[in-house]
Structure 1
Amino acid sequence: MPASPSKPDHVCVGAISGSFGVRGEVRLKSFCAEPSDIGSYGPLSTEDGATSYTVTLTRPVKSGYAAMLSGVATKEEADALRGTRLYAPRTALPSLPDDEFYHADLVGLAAIDTGGEPIGKIASVANHGAGDILEITGPGLGNGLLIPFTLAAVPTVDLAAGRVIIDMPEGLLDPAPAPEAPAPPLGQDYD
């Protein structure tokens, strides 16, 4: 769950993917570990904090929930909110066990290798179904480096020091070997 750039004490817990029906309900995607918890964090606000909504989940639907938002009464108003991300105050979120982290806490941390050499910074955390992946950006990393967020690859997360230690897989940052010159075609005489 990413933090709001304008309000770092708020964490993105969901997004509105469009309207549902004709009575002002929205289709709501939850980014919470327990998806139905999105309705229990109190009023949710937009990224800039300008608007807050009380969320009432009405029923599960494909890829989320149908929900009523305070102040939204028509299909047109619900349609206008498509793509809006909803944020909860960090204080409303549950405490996590020692080995779990909110994505918002990881983004921006310095990444160093096991020898203490800087690698870069965590730019984002993604999950495409097989586990979390850290995207690390920095000098010499081109479009970035993707590291699985596992205990083997990331043995230490030190939020107080603002860093993670990466146990780099062998050869990941080594330059690619230069290609060999192609062998001359068989049967040709170069004399």
Structure 2
Amino acid sequence: MRVAPMGDGQEKKVCLGVVTGAHGVRGLVRVKPFTETPEGVAAYGPVETKDGARRFAIAAKGMAKDLVICQLEGVIDRDVAAALRGTELYVPRERLPEADEDGEGWYHADLIGLRAVGTDGRLYGLVAGIQNFGAGDLLEIAPDEGGETVLMSFTDENVPEVDIEGGKIVIDPPLGTFEDGTFGDDAAEADNE
């Protein structure tokens, strides 16, 4: 599931799915789910837009291939449904079930702010987000001292350990992901040599 990064003091939101378009003429929408099971997109109560400006009661009405057909409260015709294309549907993180008792379960929202530590113990930065542009999840890592974030495939090979309680993820980035593997002055000095 995707997470909406929130500022200090704001609740984390988890994206359950995104509206991909209208379905029929009576205001139904097609939703690409980001939940473990497709029907989970409507299982946690009302959804809202990323900025919280719009809120909808949601009901799953069926499936069309890998998309969930949903009714959003107040959306009663095709034009309104079509205008929602690209709208991400969020719920507050606290509405979702807690992680498994063995600590194995977590949501992308739980990873935001964790330290990204290499298998050799080197600190690469903090997890800034999890992105998905259609070809799989990408881990977004922000350096501690500013600078551009780095995207890395979020695979078992690249991220062999997630330690929520320890406040870190362990990464084994592919060669070249972080230039020489460091941020800040060390990387700049390496380029100047």
TM-score range, shorter chain: 0.7 to 0.9
Which amino acid counterpart does residue 2 of structure 1 have in structure 2? R
Number of the residue aligned with 1:146: 152
Report sequence identity in percent.
Answer: 39
Is residue 9 of structure 1 aligned with residue 12 of structure 2?
yes
Number of the residue aligned with 2:28: 25
Is residue 59 of structure 1 aligned with residue 62 of structure 2?
yes
Number of the residue aligned with 1:104: 109
User: Which deviations, in whole Å up to 9, do the C-alpha atoms of 1:119-149 show, x marking residues without a partner?
Assistant: 122244356899755343437x977352554
CA-atom RMSD in angstroms: 3.0
TM-score in terms of structure 2 length: 0.73
The alignment partner of 2:99 has SS state of coil
Matched residue count: 174
Q: Distance in 2 between matches of 1:174 and 1:68?
A: 47
Task: Decide which of 58, 62, 82 is 2:85's aligned counterpart.
Answer: 82
User: Which deviations, in whole Å up to 9, do the C-alpha atoms of 1:158-177 show, x marking residues without a partner?
Assistant: 334532233567897685xx
Q: Distance in 1 between matches of 2:148 and 2:49?
A: 33
The alignment partner of 2:130 has SS state of strand
TM-score in terms of structure 1 length: 0.73
Change (3 A) 1:126 1:95: same
The alignment partner of 1:91 has SS state of helix
Structure 1 regions of 5+ residues with no counterpart?
176-191
Structure 2 regions of 5+ residues with no counterpart?
181-193
Number of the residue aligned with 2:74: 71
Larger radius of gyration: 1
